[in-house]
Amino acid sequence: MLPDRSFFNLLAEAAKAETLPRFRSGLDVANKLSSGFDPVTEGDQAAEVAIRKLIEAHFPDHGILGEEHGSIGLDREYVWVVDPIDGTRAFISGVPVWGTLIGLYKNGRAIMGMIEQPFTGERYFADETASFYAGPEGERRLQVRDCGALSNAIMFTTSPHLFAGTEMERYREIESQVRLFRYGTDCYAYALLAAGHVDLVVENSLKPYDVGGIIPVIERAGGIITTWDGGRPENGGSIIAAGSPAVYEQAVAILRRQ
């Protein structure tokens, strides 16, 4: 038996109880890297524990791939992919665009997902048939928009500083062709794309837990999300998401240019 929307809401509430009280609270931050900066907070760790406990209690035969507490059962038919705080840098900076990502894979394919935005009170959820919004604006089915062409597009990326070399050149070329570009919204950019507010997201160096909960939300809203070379995005990597085939094709033509 598959989980339903109410179970995803249960997971989101459990995570929210651990993350939101710690937001803007002056909590301690640890660095996961010996060189560089990859922050983790007790909010990340506690939220993932809360999610994992519920999954293990209700679906003990499912695997779990988590950012903070390792993975179990990755060879099982169903695997949960969990990012307790996507946008930890935003979280520790007091910027309210971080979220919790919860995805469910079946035989390696993302089939259900949620982008939970605790501070804004928004949830973007997808089952096997459709994507839905619930939040201050009420409830509705999500649908991407078609802006017609790359020149009309609003594009997001977390930070251009994450690109280098050829990837930077290709990203900058796309950036020079869109109508508007913005930085720094982490998973919220994908939620905005699914809701029809923006048109394109281009990123690189993503992990499976960075996209697992996002993929179904984008696809069930009518959008496209792949790797830059057109492959499935479940394993992360360099990712492009678009609201229309025209924008997608124009952008990937640049990304794949030899």
CA distance linking residue 124 with residue 217, whole number of Å = 7
pLDDT on residue 44: 87
CB atoms closer than 10 angstroms to residue 145: 18
What is the edge-to-edge ordering of all strands in the sheet holding 180-183? 180-183, 154-157, 200-206, 237-242, 224-227
What is the edge-to-edge ordering of all strands in the sheet holding 99-106? 71-72, 63-66, 78-86, 99-106, 109-117, 122-126, 131-135, 138-141
Domain residue ranges of the chain, discontinuous segments joined by +: 5-141, 150-255
pLDDT on residue 37: 44
Pairing relationship of beta strands 78-86 and 63-66 according to DSSP bridges: parallel
Stretches where the chain sits below pLDDT 70 are 27-40
CATH of the domain spanning 5-141: 3.30.540.10
Question: Model's pTM, two decimal places?
Answer: 0.94
pLDDT on residue 41: 77
CA distance linking residue 137 with residue 51, whole number of Å = 26
pLDDT on residue 25: 87
Task: Judge residue 95's burial from the number of C-beta atoms within 10 Å of its C-beta, 0-12 exposed, 13-18 middle, 19 or more buried.
Answer: middle
| Rounded alpha-carbon distances, angstroms, from residue 179 to 29, 94, 159, 220, 258 | 37, 29, 18, 26, 25
Q: Which CATH architecture has domain 150-255?
A: 3-Layer(aba) Sandwich (3.40)
CA distance linking residue 53 with residue 39, whole number of Å = 23
Determine which helix (DSSP H) or strand (DSSP E) holds 251, and give its type and residue range.
helix 245-255
pLDDT on residue 81: 98
Residue 30: phi, psi to the nearest 5? Answer: -105, 155
24-27's contacts with Cβ under 8 Å and 24+ in sequence apart are 24/94, 27/92
CA distance linking residue 43 with residue 141, whole number of Å = 30
Q: What is the pLDDT of residues 158-202, one digit of tens each?
A: 999 999 999 999 999 999 999 999 999 999 999 999 999 999 999
pLDDT on residue 33: 47
Residue 127: phi, psi to the nearest 5? Answer: -105, -155
Pairing relationship of beta strands 109-117 and 29-31 according to DSSP bridges: unpaired
pLDDT on residue 29: 61
CA distance linking residue 43 with residue 223, whole number of Å = 31
User: Which amino acid makes up residue 241?
Assistant: A
